[in-house]
Amino acid sequence: MNRKSLGIRLTGALLGASLLTMAAHAAGPKPEDAMEYRQSVFNIIGWNFKPMGAMVKGEVPFDAAAVARHAQYVDLMSKAALEGFPKGSGPDAVEDTDAKADIWTNWGKFETAMKNFQQESAKLAEVAKGGDEAVIKAQFGKTAETCKACHKEFRKD
Ligand code: HEC
C-alpha cells in the first residue's frame, strides 16, 4: 500500500470513529451512568462538606487552609451536578436513585435550587480564601441551607 492510500484509509477510519462518537452523544448517557455520575459528584461534595461542618460546630479545630481547599472542591462540583440529571434518568428508569420524579416535572424549580447552591458555594470559596472564621462560618450556614432546601423537596429521605 502506498502512503497516499494509507492516508485515505486512516482518514476514513478516524471519520468513522468520530461519527460513532457523535451518535453515542446524540443518544445521551445511559440512565444508570447518569445516576452514578451524579451520586459520585454528591459524594465528593459530601466528603468535602462534612469536615467543614465539624469545624463550624467546633468538633474539630478550625483550619483555614483546609476549609479553603474543601470549599474549592464544593464550588467546582456544584457546577458539575446539574448535567447528572438528564431526562429519563429518574426513579422510573433507575432503581438505586434517591432522586424524586418531581425533579423532571418541576425542572425550573430544581434548576433554581441548583443555582442557589452554586451561588452560595462560590461565595463560600471566596470568603474561605480570606480566612475570617466568623465570616466563613456564616457563609457555611447559608450554603448548608441550600443543600437542605433541595434535599427536602427533591431527594427521598
Ligand atoms: C439542587 C438539588 C441539590 C442540592 C443543592 C444538593 N443536593 Fe445532594 N442530592 C440531591 C439529589 C437529587 C440526590 C440524590 C441523587 C441520586 O440518588 O440519584 C442527592 C444526593 C446527595 C448525597 C448522596 C450521594 C450518594 O452517594 O448517593 C449526598 C452525600 C449529598 N447529596 C450531599 C449534598 C450536600 C452536602 C449538598 C450541599 C453542600 C447538596 N447535596 C446539595 C440534590 C441536591
Full residue range of the structural domain in which residue 114 is found: 30-154
Amino acid at 31: P
Interval 18-71: pLDDT, tens: 555 555 555 789 999 999 999 999 999 999 999 999 999 999 999 999 999 999
Identify whether 1 is part of a domain. no
Identify whether 17 is part of a domain. no
Q: What is the CATH number of the domain that holds 143?
A: 1.20.120.10
Q: Count structural domains, the chain.
A: 1
Which residue minimizes the CA distance to atom 8 of ligand 1?
A: 42
Identify whether 124 is part of a domain. yes
Q: Which atom of ligand 1 is nearest to the CA of 85?
A: 18
Interval 4-25: pLDDT, tens: 666 666 566 655 565 555 555 5
CA distance 62 to 155: 31
Which residue minimizes the CA distance to atom 20 of ligand 1?
A: 42
pTM for the full predicted model: 0.86
Identify whether 59 is part of a domain. yes
